[in-house]
A and B are shown apart, each in its own frame.
Chain A
Amino acid sequence: MNRFPFYIGWSADVPPKALQRARAFLLLACCLFGVGGAWLALAQGEFSNAVFEYGQATELEGVLVTRPAPALKVAVGDAGSETYQRVLLVGYGKFGATGILQTVAEREGFDLDGRRVKVRGSLLYRDGKALLELSEGDAAFLEIGQPRSLSSSRELYGETSLSGEILDAKCYFGVMKPGEGKPHRSCAVRCLSGGIPPVMKARLADGRLEYVLLVGPNGEQITDRLLDFVAEPVSLCGRAERLDDWWVLYVDLNQGVGRLGLSYPADIPMCR
């Protein structure tokens, strides 16, 4: 027999006893939501210290290079003993800088490669690597000077095989947290499709992480060949070279891209 007071929501006369169980349930739900919220917050993976200076303009001067990826070579250190840092150039949103460089080159009537330029944009940086978003498009070019010859610090490493995750440089080095892994896969595909340089976050034999720019055997863009493999552990073979502060892998496309799956003891934990 049902002896519990009958509850009618619209009735002005609600038996107090009818609300007791609901209140007990609510109390339990409060504990669950409060404790759950705190526990889930504590259990989150650590976020990187990457920075995207969104809305904050920085002017940089340097020599523009278009290969292996559009970048500004900026002198670092004292005069005479300076080294060069390559600040990768990217466009607004999920686009690379190539389209902007072409527009400026057509407007000016000459190739920009090797010229001294002054540009304005928003900086992104992480782990010693920097990018500049040319948020204003072709208007980001404030000054374009004469061609200037700058020697690059080059270190040939030779043929090698690297394992890691293919990322889009813009999200990983500043825009998104996390800018890697399965949840970010679709975004990385979109960014790489738009011309943002692909970078491999490679784990070296000694356990160190290194960021490697990925291009074809002759320095050409191979984004289309990599789209299917982003955000998962893969191996790539090719010729490695250090150009200023970036490692570059000239990927041997004949050997293809190897999916590592469970054999890669790294950062994608579940389901592998």
Chain B
Amino acid sequence: MSTQYTAVIWNREKKRYDRYLAGLIGLFLLAFCGLTLALQPEITAETLIIRATGTTALLLLHLTLMIGPLCRIDPAFLPLLYNRRHLGVTTFFFGLIHGVFNLIQFHSLGNVNPLVSLFTANVHYGSLSNFPFQVLGFGALVILFLMAATSHDFWLKNLGPKAWKTLHMFVYLAYGLLVMHVLLGVAQAEHSPVAIGFLGMGVVTVISLHLAAAFFGQRGQFTAAAGEDFVEVCGLADIEDKRAKVCLIGKENIAIFKYDGKLAAVSNICKHQHGPLGEGKIVDGCITCPWHGYQYLPENGCSPPPFTEKVSTYELKLVGDRIFVNPRPHPEGTRVEPVEIPRKHE
């Protein structure tokens, strides 16, 4: 969290994250480039760069897409998510090097502008086997560029969380384009099934993790139709101290927190990157988002000063040991008195 924009707010965890990321990329490049150069010294530098950077970008994109669902399945993976934007921006830069070298290698120094050539050199748009696969890679690169360019919190704030999140969901379109880029491109020139095998494994893993996250992520979540004033959600014992119960009532995604002998309900959606507040924890008296540690006061949904983020709050009532929530949200930042838990239930 920050009250002013800084290029990167470095801390120990981000530095550690980036060191590991650099090590991982270095290991791959060492293995791929080292072995290629040792076994096939005839390769040209351009081809080596194009292949190494393209493969690195695709591998990093797989990692990026795996982290979200892994964290939904098991919060133990949350350290992987904390600095995921650096992973995403690194993915874009490798894709950019790959794209620029391809443009230079295959389209420059010719009789038309390289960018025009990209779209017009091969015009078999109606054919599957002859499809101009480079155009698919270009489309994916444009999406990755928009994501990398708007990855900073400045853009999150100015675009608004909803528009920002929508834009960044296009990563799945970029992923689809890149899979087809490989299948309709280099896969048709290589005799070995290894590259296709790796890609297939990657696609199956990404899809499986997302399906598993959709299943496990809703485990224990209360769901009800809208319409009633107060809806019974769960018992007191169903909520761990300083943790929350998530309930989806109509379109309202609500997190009910239990802390310090009290209950409070706020929107489950963090204002930062739409992280799941209900999977967070009360730390220092504040609801703390599991994704990037954004904090909100449980009684009014406001970030503690000097921060300015606000989320909606909801009315609660306790009947015996049963918790009821009114799914009509109060305006963001509205104070709602927390419900005191009688001592006999604590």
Contact = CB atoms under 8 A, between A and B. Distances in A.
B36 A44 contact: yes
Contacts of B132: 185-186
Contacts of A20: 76
Contacts of B31: 33-38, 41
A10 B293 contact: yes
Contacts of A177: 42-44, 47
Contacts of B156: none
Contact of B32 (A8, A40, A46, A50): A40
A41 B36 contact: yes
A173 interface: no
B319 interface: no
Name the interface size band of chain A: 35 or more
A195 B24 CA distance: 45
Nearest to B242: A6
A129 interface: no
A42 B281 CA distance: 48
B197 to A, nearest CB: 9
Interface in B121-135: 121-122, 128-130, 132-134
Contact of A6 (B25, B34, B133, B281): B281
Contacts of B59: 33, 36
Contacts of B243: 1-2
Contacts of A194: 110-111
B208 interface: no
B260 interface: no
A185 B196 contact: no
Nearest to B25: A33
Given A184-B106, A187-B105, A271-B188, A18 B79 contact: yes
Nearest to B36: A41
B117 interface: yes
A43 B192 contact: yes
Interface in A8-31: 8-12, 14, 18-22, 25-26, 29-30
Nearest to A194: B111
Given A176-B44, A186-B118, A95 B111 contact: yes
A191 interface: yes
Contacts of B188: 181-183, 268-272
A40 B59 CA distance: 12
A108 to B, nearest CB: 25
A38 B110 contact: no
Contact of B29 (A25, A37, A176, A185): A37
Interface string B22-57: 011101111111111001101110110001000100
B293 A8 contact: yes
A18 B185 contact: no
9 contacts: A25-B80, A26-B24, A37-B31, A37-B32, A40-B32, A40-B55, A182-B184, A185-B130, A261-B129
Q: Which 8 A-B pairs have the closest CB atoms?
A: A93-B109, A37-B31, A43-B194, A9-B82, A186-B121, A41-B35, A21-B76, A37-B32
Interface of A: 1-2, 4, 6-12, 14, 18-22, 25-26, 29-30, 33-50, 92-95, 176-178, 181-187, 189-191, 193-194, 232, 261, 268-272
Given A7-B82, A271-B128, 13 more contacts: A8-B288, A9-B13, A10-B1, A20-B76, A37-B55, A40-B195, A44-B190, A92-B109, A94-B109, A177-B47, A191-B110, A269-B190, A269-B191
